[in-house]
Amino acid sequence: MEELVQRIKEDGRVLGEGVLKVDSFVTHQVDPNLMEAIGYRFAEVFAEVGITKVVTIEASGIAPALFAAKKLDVPMIFARKAKSLTMDEELLTASVYSFTKQVTSQISISRKFLSSEDKVLIIDDFLANGQAAKGLVELCQQAGAQVDGIGIVIEKSFQDGRDLLEEMGMRVVSLARIASLKNGEVEFFEGDA
């Protein structure tokens, strides 16, 4: 997606350890126009699938997921990383190792929001080693819901996430694919969605 690639070139910053900082438009300050365009692009790509729910993980997946859900006219559910006192119903839970925080945490969604009737589009801001997306797939599978696609805003293709998810039989669509972050430079893959 050209608009996203341009923005990463202009405002993305490479940190050590293969991490891209996009806190001025995705992960802290959020550009609503760009998020809308991203969400609508996902909705367009998955328009024919019959998606009934969009599932993401807090916090940075919420903005693109919400716009995709709005365009698909379905609810958006975000998995929580910390259990809230108000979550008193039965929960779907999975363990996720965080690439950026380097800790394992439990993610959860109330069981009442997902069922075997659902066809799910999973959305997240980054794909690195695939642990966040895999955890979201596991939550859906616990509910008997079918995952019909995974939409990723920024894929770091030099990490193992895509392989892991494709081995699970998942369709992965990324709007920007980064081939390398070596030497402080962002190098893109051709053929983005």
| Window of 62-70, 80-88, 127-135, 140-148 that interacts with ligand 5GP by CB under 6 A | 127-135
Answer for which of 54, 55, 72, 132 binds ligand 5GP (CB under 6 A) is 132
The alpha helices in 46-185, defined as continuous H runs, are 62-72, 131-142, 161-167
42 binds ligand 5GP (CB under 6 A): no
DSSP bridge pairs for 106: 95
Q: How many residues touch ligand 5GP (CB under 6 A)?
A: 20
Q: For ligand 5GP, which is the closer residue by CB, 66 or 112? A: 66
Task: Assess contact for 108 and 83: CB atoms under 8 A.
Answer: yes
Q: Whose CA is closest to 120, among 102, 100, 136, 101? A: 136
Nearer to ligand 5GP, 105 or 129 (CB): 129
**Is 129 annotated as a binding-site member?**
yes
Structure tokens of 156? 């770091």
Count the neighbouring beta carbons within 10 Å of the beta carbon of residue 175.
22
20 binds ligand 5GP (CB under 6 A): yes
Contact positions vs ligand 5GP (CB under 6 A): 19-22, 27, 60, 98-100, 124-132, 156, 161
